[in-house]
Structure 1
Amino acid sequence: MGLGKLRLSSFSLFVILLCQLSFSAYQMGDHPCHLKRDYSLTYRKEGDLVIGGFFSLFLKTSIYVDKLSFRIPPVWTSADSKYMIKHYQHFLIFQFAVHEINKDPHLLPNITLGYQLFSNFHSNKLALENSLIWLSGMGPTIPNYNCELQHKSVAVIGGMSSTLSMAMATMLGLYKVPQVTYGPFDLLLADNVQYPYVYQMGSRESTLHLTVIKLMLHFGWTWIGLVISDNMRGEQFFNNLKEEMTRNGMCLAFVERVPKKINLEHDESIKLFSRIIASSSNVIFIYGDTDSLFEFSILVNDFYLNGKLLITTSYWDFSIDVTKEMNHFHGTLIISQIKREIPGFTDFLRSVKPTVNTEDIFLKSFWEITYYCRLSKKGTVELLHYVCPEMDLVEGVYSSDFEKTIMDLSYNIYNGIYLLAHAFHQLLESDPKATSEFGKNPVLSWKLHHFLRCVNPDLDDKDELCGYAARMADERYDILNFKIFPDYIAKQVKVGEVIHHGKELNIHEEDVDWPEDFGQTPSSTCSASCGPGFRKTLQEGQPICCFDCTLCPEGEISNQSDTEQCLKCPEDQYPSKEKDRCLPKTVTYLAYEETLGMALAAVALSLSLLTTLVLGIFVMHRDTPIVKANNRSLSYTLLTSLTLCFLSSLLFIGRPTPATCLLRQTTFAIVFTVTIASILAKTITMVLAFRATKQVSKLRRLMGTRVSYFLIFICTLIQMCLCGIWLGTYPPFLEKDTHSEFSFIVIQCNEGSLVTFYCVLGYMGFLSLVSFTLAFLARKLPDTFNEAKYLTFSMMVFCSVWISFLPAYQSTKRKAMVAMEIFSILVSGAGILTCIFVPKCYVIFLRSDRNTLSLLKSKANP
């Protein structure tokens, strides 16, 4: 690909022009232009094929540049050995993978892999400079000049972050050098036009946001803060996480984007940290890599996030400064891809000793810095005279300085070495002559690109993968807990895992050490959870996680926490007092077993027995004048109907059935009609008898028994017709009233057609009103046994009771309504019995002197 087709930055063009001018000056005999740094460490091991390794061991800090910086001489800044020392594992895993491949007789037979290791001090400028050194060979760093030995160098592994990878790709891409990055996947590096020779070993993390959601759901965290790096990776993760959180009813308390450069002395950094501290969220998820959040980790170390639980990924290495106090991060949860065991790596570490690998300057620096000792007269730590002990890495390295378990980036390096090895293998199988031409024709290394695209970088999968798009994220994640043990030994302890294929989260909470600010599992919610019996009411203008708890309305319950809607109980159940469950309603009706039903039934039976007794008295004294004078046949009929009236009230007591619902109102109406009709017949008979005595007219013929019974029959027939219409159109029916009583199901009889029901009552009222009127007009008739007064009082009681019954019947419900009707039947019947027949019984038993025929004749003929 020509230079015209590459989209190079202005900085890249400047570097190229500078290098070309420098090389021209070198050819003309002027002062040679080459780059030389005292801290540009490199370690090379020869082989038939040489792979370059660009890693970040120490840190070269940069100075903030402003307008005032140009007024003073530039300040030289050296590399700081205190930082990023734990990443020495990247060098070791690189060397181990090469050593392992060289021992494999099948992968690359008759070919030995070599390597050249660089430390770019996590600096973009030095990464670019080391790329130029690697391209120039073993001699001075001269642009566009390659040492003959350098032709063996066919590929590069490097780029702990995307910015480092881009800086390297700017230079290496000009020469089509295959570059395998081991840092997190970045969409910018996936641009095939701008970075066509870059192959990313990092995964896309397509399910990382789902892992965060699972963790939040498990602990009930619905209100979290989010700190992301201010780049495309951070924005993509934010969008994915926000969408999934909305789907699960969770909210973000804040979203802070951390710029790559933070001026720790500027007010803006203080404001950034203050917003995080002031948040009501107790859980903060931090997403980014070591490069993008390095200065933020220093900020966290300096100010301390009090009362906050941090969750992050293994790509943000907050422990890169081993000299800082790490207690701030105790309890932090780390989401990491499953750490797979690499067989033989521990044994390899036992063979790594500075006395054996004397040329490995990185091992020497790491060893002296770790133990603060010296291996030679001129050691890394020159102020001490303590001689380093004889031991290997497994025995001697402090756990806080070196991770013996394989980290994510280390595993990517391991896979990257094997990716290149398999590409070499495929290239040599397709072109056997390539073996002899390596080192002579650098163009052959360009052929690796085809095989890098079609070799599966994941050794566990056997399917061929063509196209070098980054692999999808591993469907399994480890949940690690960062713990500070005594003697300040830091460890990442596995406490759980997430398997997305099975949608499982397995976590051992008893193994988790929470931050010291939390005595137990921390909670993080905007509003306290609404317990059963309450529903969530959203606060106006606030996220859905911020709400008030409102008691469920009457008749509704919520049996779960944080429900948005209360539920109505089934018709046969009612809410408990706490409104957290539904209780079965009690079936109720006016039963014989309860006090009211028992009392009413006893009164009804007593009155019916009393009426029967009165009927017996009248039968026994049927020949006495007082019984004869008041039409004893009508008296018998009246007493019999009264007895049935009292007994008809028993149909209203007990569990209603369809049969009792049909019979009780109609039976009551008919027998009471007979009673009223009998009273009406007695009243008419009495009036006609008086008129016949005075005027001796034909009215005497109307005093016969047949006429009276005919009148009773006609009145009763009319009532029976009304009841027949009622039963034929809309009859009473059995129903269960589940709404009137809060905790009861009332078994009752619905009257059906209320119009017909009131017509039946109105007809009885009409008959009683006629009887009352006639009796009232005849109350002063001069007859010894004139019962007009008694009939008047009885009808007055009857009308008063039933006139009072109508509004009371409308205002009462359920059992009270039934009891009211029974009470009206008994009182009205008792009033008739008392007013008409008690005076006669009084005369029969106590005033027998007045129950004589002579007295009757004397009163009849004054």
Structure 2
Amino acid sequence: MLLPLFRFTWKNYQYVLAFYFAIEEINKSPHLLPNITLGYVFYDAFPSDRRTLENALFLLSGGNHLLPNYNCQTYKQPVAIIAGNMPTFSAQVGTLLELYKSPQVTYGLFDPILSDKDQFPSVYQMATKDSSLTHGIICLLLHFGWTWVALYVSDDMQGEQFLQDVKAKMIEKGICVAFTEKLPPTKGVFFPRDLILRTRIRVSSANVYIIHGDEGSVWNLGHVKEFYLILGKVWIMRNLYSPQWNHIFTTFKIPYFFHGSLLFSNQKRKIPGFKQFLRTVNPSQYPEDFYFSKLWAHFFLCALAGSLCGKIGDCPPNSSLEFLQSYLDIMTVSDSSYFIYHAVHVVAQVLYKILLQKIEMRSPGDTDQLILPWQLHPFLRKSQLTNSIEYNMILDENRNMIQYDIHNLVRFSNNSWLLVKVGDFVYRNTHDHDLVIHEEVVNWPVKFKETPKSVCSQSCVPGFQKIPQEGRPVCCFICVSCPESDISNQTDAKQCTQCPAQEYSNIERTHCLPKRVTFLAFEDALGTTISCMALCFFVLTAVVLGVFVKHRDTPIVKANNQALSFILLISLLPCFLCSLLFIGHPNTATCVFQQLTFGLVFTVAVSTILAKTITVILAFKARKPGRTMRCLLVSRVSNSIISICSLIQMIICGIWLGTSPPFVDIDSHSESRNIIIVCNKGSVTAFYCVLGYLGFLALGSFTVAFLARNLPDAFNEAKFLTFSMLVFCSVWVTFVPVYHSTKGKFMVAVEVFSILASSAGLLGCIFAPKCYIILLRPDKNSWKVLKNRRGFK
């Protein structure tokens, strides 16, 4: 067996005692290797490449001289080697031992390189692949909401494997790495002289630093003079042994060095009967063991009779390992001691199976032949260990993971320290693990008065969404308020959620509220105003109609076709009233009637104006010689224009109703907080066909009236018709862009206003001058004045 025992690191001597205990237990067992006594030999495992290989050659040569390829003492040739507290040591001797097919069972930490059977086919690891520690660290980070951390890992394959595993899990869980630094690896037992001072201290906004390494890793950090820059960080790492912490804190007098750290400790291992063995064992039982005698002399200042040193002084009554100084913690079973104990049992059971196989084969003399090292390999590959504590394992398969105690390292001003258990982590498999933390008992670094935060960017509160910053990790982001009609009701929302069409977002953008159903109602200020305007114009038109009826025999009423004037006034009455169909709660009937009424009554009105302008032209043309114009005037052909134009508009409206009639619709987008009930026009093309036809009639009336504006007559209204059509066309040309630039019920208001404005324009431009003469200047409304006017013939 190769063991590290340098610089009197007496805690490691427990490895030897665990080995002694396992050997004695097997040799005394009547069931395992009966009538056979296991022998052993110890070799030092120096932290030096040259000394490591030198001792391995001593082991293979079987003597005190290095004779490669020669074995001087065949009877001392070991069938298996238990070694490797550090993976680097096992790797160094593994290649050499492979030449002789000697199996090496390691008791150190699991190393991915040693699991490569192509490179190390004769190496068997007792430890498991420690992915549980990775999961534990990730669970701890998630528990406290730490998403911005720094990593210090050893610059070896173990560190590289840990780095790959932890980064993969961090990416999966949304945790980011501020930076990664490599720590120089240490080999064997750590010496300060082995320190390679090339660790770089980097300052980061991260408040949580993770270390993956050993005692040497902590030494590397402590020796860097810039370490004070990162004092006060929360360190997460695997726990060291008490003697190691004592050594570190004695060496570094930095106040609160590693205070507040969270440490993952394997739960205390148990080997039945081992504590009783430690209480009773003494150097006289192993006189050939120089180190045992030296340990006894160092701590008890005496030597027992029968030991290597012989009797020296009188040993006190409490000269037992149980009463050694507490910082050695010799009574607590370490992981390596635990694995050494079981490694011995594994080798013993393999030897037992080989012997049983030879007996079953009944080959004469086989049982007396030596067992060669290479013969153990088939059994080691499939060996399952079952001993008195029911420890089951298959060496080439992953074993069940263990439970961790989570300790909080507390430092005091007098340089004393204490480990306080603050939680547990139990790992069963990738999807089955539990973490329990008692935050109230955690002592954080002195600069933190409460649980520290470690994030690249502060969390986005509800109502905001995360926007990643270009070129930075995903944990670094800015918070942007959700747009209107969107919400986020959770912290750190990646994107906002749009509210349903029937709801809108509150001011904080955290909840969706139901929209209020609205429409252009009579009770609204806008609806009331429009209704009053429509009724006023309706009454005014009725008054004008009454005036014209009362003065129907006067020249100004009879001029330019009296009947057409009455038709125009009567058609203006429904023009004003049809605007009321656009106000109030829409239904299918009002949606249909408002568009049809608007199209038809305006067609009658505009076609009447067209007929009046044609009548003016025919009247003046009829005064010239010829019968054609006079016949057209007498036959009142201009009156048929109204019927023809109205019939065309009716056909257009009929097609509209037959293909895609207007219907009641809901507008949930125009106003963020309201659902507007509107009349959907069904076919926008049909609507603009109706409007375009009206525009065509208006443009024709405007053109004809413009050409007749200079015809001489006392009551020639061509100028007024021209101006009225100009107003009418201006209103509806303006209507189109304004209509499309408004939303919701304001679109309805724009259409109603255009109806009222155009109707009022016709009423005012055509009939206001005549009412002025009829009511205020009756002296001009006579045949005498008509005859005396200039230009009358």
| TM-score (norm: length of structure 2) | 0.75
Partner of 2:791: none
Q: Is the 8 A contact 2:606 2:698 kept in 1?
A: no
Q: Give aligned pairs, total.
A: 759
Distance in 2 of aligned mates of 1:674 and 1:452: 108
The CA deviation string for residues 266-293 of structure 1, in whole angstroms up to 9 with x for no partner, is: 9x955x33x2244554443333456x75
Partner of 1:332: 261
SS at 2:201 equivalent: helix
Which of 628, 642, 655 aligns to 1:712? It is 642
Note closer, same or farther for the CA distance 1:681–1:166 as it changes in structure 2 (3 Å cut): closer
Which of 281, 287, 294 aligns to 2:212? It is 287
* Structure 1 residue 476, shift from structure 2 partner: 4.7
Note closer, same or farther for the CA distance 1:251–1:489 as it changes in structure 2 (3 Å cut): closer
- 1:258 aligns to 2:189 (yes or no): no
Q: Is the 8 A contact 1:669 1:719 kept in 2?
A: yes
Distance in 2 of aligned mates of 1:135 and 1:810: 97
Which of 344, 362, 376 aligns to 1:417? It is 344
* Structure 1 residue 671, shift from structure 2 partner: 0.2
Partner of 1:162: 87
SS at 1:321 equivalent: helix
Note closer, same or farther for the CA distance 1:827–1:388 as it changes in structure 2 (3 Å cut): farther
One-letter code aligned to 1:536: I
- 1:824 aligns to 2:754 (yes or no): yes
- 1:781 aligns to 2:717 (yes or no): no
Note closer, same or farther for the CA distance 1:429–1:708 as it changes in structure 2 (3 Å cut): same
Distance in 2 of aligned mates of 1:313 and 1:258: 17
Distance in 1 of aligned mates of 2:773 and 2:341: 126
Partner of 1:646: 576
- 1:607 aligns to 2:540 (yes or no): no
SS at 2:128 equivalent: coil
The CA deviation string for residues 297-351 of structure 1, in whole angstroms up to 9 with x for no partner, is: 66379956524433333589963726445952333334455655545555555x3
Partner of 1:453: 381
Q: Percent identity?
A: 40
Distance in 1 of aligned mates of 2:91 and 2:575: 106
Note closer, same or farther for the CA distance 1:646–1:113 as it changes in structure 2 (3 Å cut): same
The CA deviation string for residues 483-505 of structure 1, in whole angstroms up to 9 with x for no partner, is: 23668354373623253342445
Distance in 2 of aligned mates of 1:518 and 1:437: 75
Note closer, same or farther for the CA distance 1:438–1:477 as it changes in structure 2 (3 Å cut): farther
Note closer, same or farther for the CA distance 1:759–1:127 as it changes in structure 2 (3 Å cut): closer
Note closer, same or farther for the CA distance 1:570–1:367 as it changes in structure 2 (3 Å cut): farther
Distance in 2 of aligned mates of 1:438 and 1:492: 58
Q: Is the 8 A contact 2:106 2:125 kept in 1?
A: yes
One-letter code aligned to 2:258: F
Which of 672, 676, 700 aligns to 2:602? It is 672
Partner of 1:42: none
Distance in 2 of aligned mates of 1:789 and 1:194: 109
Note closer, same or farther for the CA distance 1:861–1:233 as it changes in structure 2 (3 Å cut): closer
One-letter code aligned to 2:644: I
Distance in 2 of aligned mates of 1:576 and 1:402: 63
Which of 684, 692, 716 aligns to 1:752? It is 684
Trace 1:216-255 onto structure 2 (pairs within 5 A): 216-245=141-170, 250-251=176-177, 253-255=179-181
Partner of 1:595: 525
Distance in 1 of aligned mates of 2:100 and 2:325: 42
* Structure 1 residue 391, shift from structure 2 partner: 7.8
Partner of 1:484: 410
Trace 1:100-119 onto structure 2 (pairs within 5 A): 101=26, 106-107=31-32
Note closer, same or farther for the CA distance 1:605–1:413 as it changes in structure 2 (3 Å cut): farther
SS at 2:419 equivalent: strand
Q: Is the 8 A contact 2:702 2:722 kept in 1?
A: no
Q: Is the 8 A contact 1:201 1:457 kept in 2?
A: no
Q: Is the 8 A contact 1:480 1:494 kept in 2?
A: yes
- 1:182 aligns to 2:182 (yes or no): no
The CA deviation string for residues 549-580 of structure 1, in whole angstroms up to 9 with x for no partner, is: 67778887777666777777776677776777
Partner of 1:38: none
Which of 56, 69, 85 aligns to 2:4? It is 56
One-letter code aligned to 2:464: G
Distance in 2 of aligned mates of 1:195 and 1:841: 117
Note closer, same or farther for the CA distance 1:308–1:811 as it changes in structure 2 (3 Å cut): closer
SS at 2:421 equivalent: strand
* Structure 1 residue 644, shift from structure 2 partner: 0.7
Which of 452, 467, 490 aligns to 1:536? It is 467
Q: Is the 8 A contact 2:284 2:304 kept in 1?
A: no
Trace 1:67-86 onto structure 2 (pairs within 5 A): 79=7, 81=8, 84-86=9-11
Partner of 2:398: 472
Partner of 1:430: 357
Note closer, same or farther for the CA distance 1:677–1:386 as it changes in structure 2 (3 Å cut): farther
Trace 1:499-648 onto structure 2 (pairs within 5 A): 499=427, 500-508=429-437, 510=439, 511-525=441-455, 533-540=464-471, 589-612=519-542, 615=545, 621=550, 625=554, 629=558, 633-648=563-578
Q: Is the 8 A contact 1:287 1:316 kept in 2?
A: no
One-letter code aligned to 1:502: H
* Structure 1 residue 639, shift from structure 2 partner: 3.1
One-letter code aligned to 2:758: S
Distance in 2 of aligned mates of 1:398 and 1:613: 120
One-letter code aligned to 1:533: F
Distance in 2 of aligned mates of 1:259 and 1:135: 28
Which of 217, 220, 223 aligns to 1:299? It is 223
Note closer, same or farther for the CA distance 1:89–1:856 as it changes in structure 2 (3 Å cut): same
Distance in 1 of aligned mates of 2:434 and 2:543: 86
The CA deviation string for residues 625-644 of structure 1, in whole angstroms up to 9 with x for no partner, is: 57974666545433332121
Trace 1:718-757 onto structure 2 (pairs within 5 A): 718-724=648-654, 747=678, 749=680, 752-753=684-685, 756-757=689-690
SS at 1:606 equivalent: helix
SS at 1:160 equivalent: coil
SS at 2:245 equivalent: coil
Structure 1: gaps (5+ residues): 1-51, 60-78
Distance in 2 of aligned mates of 1:509 and 1:788: 97
One-letter code aligned to 1:606: C
Q: Is the 8 A contact 2:269 2:335 kept in 1?
A: no
SS at 1:183 equivalent: coil
* Structure 1 residue 409, shift from structure 2 partner: 2.1
Trace 1:339-358 onto structure 2 (pairs within 5 A): 341-343=270-272, 345=274, 351-352=279-280
- 1:769 aligns to 2:702 (yes or no): yes
One-letter code aligned to 2:335: D
* Structure 1 residue 264, shift from structure 2 partner: 7.5
One-letter code aligned to 1:296: N
Trace 1:375-454 onto structure 2 (pairs within 5 A): 375=302, 390=318, 396=323, 400-402=327-329, 406-431=333-358, 442-443=370-371, 447-454=375-382
SS at 1:329 equivalent: coil
* Superposition RMSD in Å: 5.5
| TM-score (norm: length of structure 1) | 0.70
Distance in 2 of aligned mates of 1:206 and 1:674: 89
SS at 2:755 equivalent: helix
SS at 2:684 equivalent: coil
* Structure 1 residue 258, shift from structure 2 partner: 1.1
* Structure 1 residue 412, shift from structure 2 partner: 1.6
Distance in 2 of aligned mates of 1:352 and 1:517: 48
One-letter code aligned to 1:229: S
